[in-house]
Every structure is written in C-alpha cells, then in structure tokens.
Structure 1
Amino acid sequence: MAGPPAAVARVRSAVRPGLATSAAPVLVAVSGGADSLALAAAVAFEAPRTGVRAGALTVDHGLQPGSAERAAATAALLSGLGLDPVRVLTVRVGPDGGPEAAARAARYAALARAATDLGARVALGHTLDDQAETVLLGLGRGSGPRSVAGMVDERPDGGVTWWRPLLGVRRETTRAACADQGLPVWEDPWNTDPAYTRARLRGEVLPLLEEVLGGGVAPALARTAAMLREDLDTLDALATAELSRLAGADGLPAEPLAALPAALRRRVLRGWLRGAGTPDLQAVHLTAVDALLTRWRGQGRVDLPGGAGVVRTSGRLVLSPPDPRGPRPGNAPDTREESRP
C-alpha cells in the first residue's frame, strides 16, 4: 500500500521522535497558517500511535477584522482533525513594544496559561526558514551570540515546555503537506507587510542572499546557529562549574576569576549576578563589574539595576545591598548605547 505524500511523511517524521520520548500531553499552537496547520495535522495523526494526548490552541488577538470568526473556523478544523481539547484564546494586546512584540507577548502568555492549566507542553510550528530569519535578526541587532544561535527544539521556560519539532523542515514542505491533505491555509497579511522587519527579511533580504550567494542560505544559517549553540552550551556549562567552584558566602575571589578567559569570566559574573536576583542585567553593567577584575585601580561601587551594587574589597567581589540614597553620581553605568548581553 502506498504511503503518504512525501511532504506529509516529512512533517510526520519530524514530530514522531518528540512524541515518542515524552508522555506529556501536547497542545499545538495554531494560527491557521501552513506551518502550524501542517504541524497540527501531523501531531493529530502520530499522537494516538504513541499514546500521547494531543489538543490545540488558537489565539484571537482581535487586531484584524473578522479575527473571532477566523479563530472559530480554525478551532472547528482542528477538532475535525481529532485534536482534543481545542480552545480559542482571546487576548488583549497592549501598546508596549510595537504591534509585533505586543501581540507576541500576549499570545505566549495566553498559551503558557492554557498549557499550565492542562499540564501540557506547547508545540510551535517554527520551521528552518523561521530559524534563518531569527539568526539574521540577531546578527543585525547585535544582540549577542545567544540570539544568533537561534531557537532550540525544546525549551522549558516558566514551568512550560515549548516544543519546536519543525526546525529542520522547510516552509515549502509545510505548504505542500497542507495542499496534499486538503487543509485550508490562512495567509496572515502581516507576514507580507513591509512595515514589519521579519516580513522584509522573508520577502526581500533572504531571496536576495539566495540570489547573490547561489542558494542554500537558509540551511547554512540554520547550521551555523546549531554549531554556535553547541559552543555556547559548552561555555555555559564550564561557567556554571567555575561559579560553583569559586563562589562563597563572601563573594567571588578576584584573582582566580580575573585569570579566566573573558568569555568564561563574564559568564561566571552573569550567573553570579542573576543568581543574586539582579533584574534586567545589561552588557554595560557586566562590563563595569568586569572592570573591577581586569582594570582594577581602586574604583568604587558599581551600581546595578534594582539598586544593589558590587564592590571589590579585600581581594573579593562582594554584593552590597541597595543604597537607600539611590545611585551615586558617576557610579551607575550609562546604558543608553549598550546592548543586552
């Protein structure tokens, strides 16, 4: 007997390992676009074969005319695939960070609440092409190596596991899978609106790179992200071990910490400061604390977000509590032109 079409088989093969290795229920986040719809169909087919309960979520952001009706139609389609439960999550999008960022924040918060209520992980339909766009965004914004390393296929965050099984699948494959199964795909106008940066990357920058470099750019960017992620994971593990070795109730010893390579030393400092509850730690703060080790000339306290600070005393870096008088002039780093670590 003939098997499914190649694109359908490819998407099903991508979700199968993740379903087989975890018994946790899965909720597929579905916008109605080809990527998430192909993922939902694959999970609906494979989940019963592995004994995993699978449902779906679709979010009504209320930002476009007819969004409620479209969400209801998507939910009906998902129920028809055999997914259960299927929920429509209605969110209110705030004004902060622009429409893309605000919609994303509202969406992920709603997905996390639903997943927590049902004790499930959330499956997201990001593809290899999305990965390539993410890498380019990270490069262009200079937001650090972690952003250039792209997305991971499984990431726990805030008590919810976010699962992205299609990071090795091309967008053209998900489109073909939907067509082969007769699934109606909704084309989000935001995805082609040049007012949005990611839409321009998708429609203008990546096609130009493909033309100039002779093709294969998206897979190459995804491979680069994977290799960089391996290196970063290794550095993070080494930094965790060094922090465990060096840290004590009385802070960090300056000399052995200063002797570490910069990439490792700064990770140790970042882990120490975040472990102490420093909020919104930025590169400029990390650089100022690092200077207490590498450019020591008797300087005073470095003020941190949240009001705490770091001082070097008796050969050690020590956290000091918030100063009730507030940051002292000249001690708080200027963050206006610095990027986050």
Structure 2
Amino acid sequence: MPALAPPVATIRVAVRRALTGLPAGGPVLVACSGGADSLALAAATAFVAPRLGRSAGLVTVDHGLQGGSAERAAAVAAWAEGIGLAPVECVRVEVAGRPGGPEAAARAARYEALVAAARRHEAAALLTGHTRDDQAETVLLALARGAGPRGLAGMPARRDADGVPLLRPLLGVGREQTRSACEVLGLAPWEDPHNRDPSYARSRIRADVLPTLVRALGPGVVDNLARTARQVAADNAVLDQLAGEALGGARHTGGGLRVEALTSLPSALRGRVLHCWARELGAPPAALSHRHVAALDALVTEWRGQGAAYLPGGLRVVRRAGRLVAVGC
C-alpha cells in the first residue's frame, strides 16, 4: 500500500481532532466554495467522519456575483455527492441591498445561508476551510485597522454561529498544504477572481503585504502571526471572564451601571465591561467600535456634564445620579 501523502494526512488529522468529542446526532456540514482549502477539507471530512461513526454533508453557496457561478456551485454539489457526502445543498443568495461593502455583504449572506442549512439538517457542526494563512491575514488586517486584542485574536477555531457550532479545523494548516492535497487527490480547485481583486484589502494583504513579510522575515512569519492570534485569544478568554464578573458587580438595582464601581476598575477591564454592556443594550457587535466604547468611558472618567454617548443601533447612554443609563432617542 503506498504511503499517504503528508498534506492529505495532515488535513485528515486536523479534521479528526475537530470532530472528536462532538455530540452524537446530526451530520457535520462542510461549507465548500470549490476553492482548494474547502475542497481539501470536504475530501478529508468525507474520509474521516464515517470512521468516527458520523455522517457528513456539504453546502455550497452561489452568491450570483460572477458569470457561471450557478454552474460552478452545481459542479461542487455533484462532486460532493459523487464522493458520498450527504446531505448536499446548493444555495443561492442575494447580496445586493445588504449594508456594508460588497465583501461584508457577501459574507453576511453566505453565513446566513450556511447556518440556515445547518439548522435544516440539525447538523452537529458546520465546518469552514479557513487556513493558517487566512489567520495571518486576519491578524495583519486587525493591526492595520487598530482593532485591538479582539481583532488580534483572529478567527477562533470554534464559535457559536446563531446556535450552530462553527468549526475551523484547518487554522493550523497552511494554504500550500491544501493545494498540495488537492493535487495529490486529483482535485481541480476553482480560483475565485475576487481573491486577486486589489480593490479588497484582504486581497492586497494576500498578494503584496504577506509575501513581502515572508521575503523580509522568512516563512515562519505566517505561523508566528497565527500563533500570536492563539495567544491573544487565550488572554482574551481570561479577561472576558473577569469583565463578566466586573459587569455583574457594577450593575445598579435600579438599572444601568454604577459609575463608582466602574471608576475603580483598571482601564483595560473597564473597556471590556462597557463593550459587553453596550452589546447587552442591543448595539450591533459588527458596528460597535473603539470610539463608541471610548465615548462611554469618557462618561465615567472625564465627566464634565457632557451630553449623551451615542451607540450604533440608535442607542443613547447618559450619566445620571452616579449611574450610566440607556435612554430613548
């Protein structure tokens, strides 16, 4: 028997680790665009899942943004059925009219469709093909945007997506490994032209910035950036736990937060408390930025009788009788 190619073995091991320990029940669904990363993930999942006593399926999303997109999605679905994945779905989404830029709108539409499919099939988890290179790009984007520790933590290996466990088994696997695995397995990945479009910041990071860093600092920079994300994520988990406890201690029986309790907190912890509280009030997480939290913090630490701090979602917070309280707009 010929030896298993190392890239194929690496990806199968990563998938096995991600699937081990999932509760029994429904299938796992792979989100597959037809690119090398998700094709390699789908092929590995089709091999690993049955050996763990679990069924595996696939969902491919047609964004309708390029000519031939419906045919490509149908081809991915046909391939998936051919290797024994089931259930298999091809879902068309509408991107136009959504808030944000085209990249954000497409991402939002895609995840809505993926989560809906996972719910329809009562999936145990949804798997995506994000790699170590994607993680490194995410960290660089976060640095450029001044996103702070939450941004530098990158993409988590596991998170809850509206009640569906979302797993990223390949965050420790390089993009070259997924491409090599596809070559070994005789798979022909689709190259999304959006990934080379310089109008997108991530495309510029991928095509110019990260290769320049690799040339200047060596190939280890990609793994180092991904490792930084893991380390910051671990720190964030501890700080978020402390912030949750501090938020509970700052609550006023009449509603809102006690300024005195907030003032006594270290600034880094107070910022997390205010961020968490703003989300509780209904501020959309994607729109809640550092400047919003800074405006809330100014009501605590730089109080001069100023007016309200405005939060996304039409929310308004004022300081009143030693408390921060949300008021109607």
TM value normalised by structure 2: 0.91
CA distance in 1, matches of 2:292, 2:100: 23
Match of 1:55 among 57, 60, 83: 57
Q: Structure 1, residues 46-87: CA drift from partner, whole Å, max 9, x if none?
A: 001111221001111122121111111111111111100111
> 8 Å contact 2:36–2:182 — kept in the other structure?
yes
Structure 1 position 309 matched with structure 2 position 311: no
Query: 2:170 is paired with a residue of what secondary structure?
Result: coil
Is the 8 Å Cα contact of residues 19 and 52 (structure 1) preserved in structure 2? no
Partner residue in 2 for 1:233 = 237
Deviation at 1:307, TM superposition (A): 4.1
Q: Which stretch shows the higher mean deviation, 37-46 or 63-72?
A: 63-72
Paired position in structure 2 for 1:319 = 325
- Which 10-residue stretch deviates more, 58-67 or 90-99? 90-99
Aligned twin of 1:29:
31
2:258 corresponding residue in structure 1: 253
Q: 2:104 aligns with which of 101, 104, 113?
A: 101
Say if 1:266 and 1:114 are closer, same or farther in 2 by CA, change over 3 A: same
Aligned counterpart for 1:67 among listed residues 54, 66, 69 = 69
Q: Deviations over 1:70-122 (max 9, x none)?
A: 11111111111110011111112214433322222221111111111112121
For 2:185 and 2:304, the matched residues in 1 are separated by 69
The aligned counterpart of 1:330 is: none
Give the structure 2 partner of residue 13 of structure 1: 13
Point out where structure 2 has 5 or more consecutive residues left out of the alignment: none
Question: Superposition RMSD on alpha carbons, in Å?
Answer: 1.8
Contact between 1:246 and 1:253, CA under 8 Å: does it hold in 2?
yes
Whether the 8 Å contact between 2:263 and 2:300 is mirrored in structure 1 is yes
Give the match for residue 298 of structure 2.
Answer: 291
Report how far residue 303 of structure 1 moved: 4.4
* Aligned pair partner of 1:113 in 116, 119, 127: 116
SS of 1:167's partner is coil
Q: Does structure 1 conserve the Cα–Cα contact (< 8 Å) formed by 2:32 and 2:59? A: yes
Distance (Å, rounded) in 2 between the aligned partners of 1:145 and 1:94? 32
Instruction: Tell me which amino acid in the other structure corresponds to 1:111.
Output: L
1:140 is aligned, of 141, 144, 151, to 144
Is 250-259 or 172-181 further displaced after alignment?
250-259
Partner of 1:328: none
Instruction: Name the CA shift for 1:310/1:278 in 2 (closer, same or farther; >3 Å).
Output: farther
Tell me if structure 2 keeps the 8 A contact 1:57–1:86: yes
Hey, what's the Cα distance between the residues in 2 that align with 1:252 and 1:100? Answer: 37
Are the structure 2 counterparts of residues 278 and 191 from structure 1 closer, same or farther at C-alpha, using a change threshold of 3 Å?
closer
1:289 deviation in Å? 2.3
CA contact (8 A) 2:252 2:323 kept: no
Aligned residue identity for 1:7: P
**How far, CA to CA, are the matches of 2:186 and 2:288 in structure 1?**
49
Contact 1:127 1:167 in 2 (8 A): yes
SS in 2 for 1:21: coil
| Native 8 Å contact 2:32 2:60 kept in 1 | yes
In structure 1, what is the Cα distance between the partners aligned to 2:163 and 2:50?
25
**Rg comparison, structure with higher value:** 1
Measured against aligned partners, the alpha-carbon deviations of 1:21-43 in whole angstroms (never above 9, x if no partner) come to 10352110111111000000000
Q: Distance in 1 between matches of 2:242 and 2:31?
A: 35
Residues 302-332 of structure 1: CA deviation (Å, up to 9, x unaligned): 444424422231xx31414314xxxxxxxxx
Looking at structure 2, the residues matched to 126 and 28 of structure 1 have their Cα atoms a distance apart, in angstroms, of: 12
Number of aligned positions between the proteins: 321
Change (3 A) 1:277 1:62: closer
Cα displacement string for residues 139-192 of structure 1 (whole angstroms, at most 9, x for unaligned residues): 112233212210011110212221100000001111111111111211222222
1:273 match: secondary structure? helix
Q: SS at 2:278's partner residue? A: helix
Aligned to 1:242: 246
Q: Give the secondary structure class of the aligned counterpart of 2:106.
A: helix
- Percent identity at matched positions? 55
Q: 1:84 to 1:320 in 2, by over 3 A?
A: closer
Give the counterpart letter for 2:328 in structure 1: P
Matched, 1:80 2:82: yes
Q: Secondary structure at the match of 1:27?
A: strand
Q: Does the aligned pair in 1 maintain the 2:257–2:325 contact within 8 Å?
A: no
Q: Residue type matched to 1:207 in 2?
A: P
Q: Deviation of residue 3 (structure 1)?
A: 4.0
- Contact 2:15 / 2:45 at 8 angstroms: preserved in 1? yes
